[in-house]
Amino acid sequence: MSEKTGETFMEKTSFRFAAPSDQVKGLPQPPLELGYDESRPHIELPSPHDVEVPSVTLREAIENRTGHHDHTRPTTIWLIINLFVIAPVTVISSLSMRLAV
């Protein structure tokens, strides 16, 4: 590998090589939130004043907490590897190929 790989990457990913933004292109702003399916039932929630919550100290809450994560599933490990190892390399490779053209 070239000793200037880092410098080349910094140069090719600088602002002047960036594609024009959607705002610059005059495209409309995307919706701030997605709509919901109005055909689905509407569930009324109880008033917070009507819900009885038992009194508990901070210590009791901390000592009695439980986890609900399944750390034994290999898909969890695969997801972490994919997100933090494989995906960044793919993105950088793709970016390098586009910038080299």
Q: What is the mean pLDDT of residues 13-30?
A: 88
As a whole number of angstroms, the distance between CA 101 and CA 91 comes to 16
* Residue with tokens 């005059």, as numbered in its chain: 26
Helix/strand/coil (H/E/C) assignment for every residue in 65-89 = CCCCCCCCCHHHHHHHHHHHHHHHH
As a whole number of angstroms, the distance between CA 92 and CA 88 comes to 6
What pLDDT does residue 74 have? 63
pTM to 2 decimal places: 0.28
pLDDT-derived band at 101 (thresholds 50, 70, 90) equals very low
> Would you kindly state where each structural domain of the chain is located, as residue ranges?
75-101
Q: What is the mean pLDDT of residues 22-34?
A: 91
Q: How far is CA 84 from CA 5, 39, 51, 75, in A?
A: 21, 39, 42, 14
96 vs 24, higher pLDDT = 24
- Assign 3-state DSSP to the chain and report helix, strand, coil percentages, each to 5: 45, 0, 55
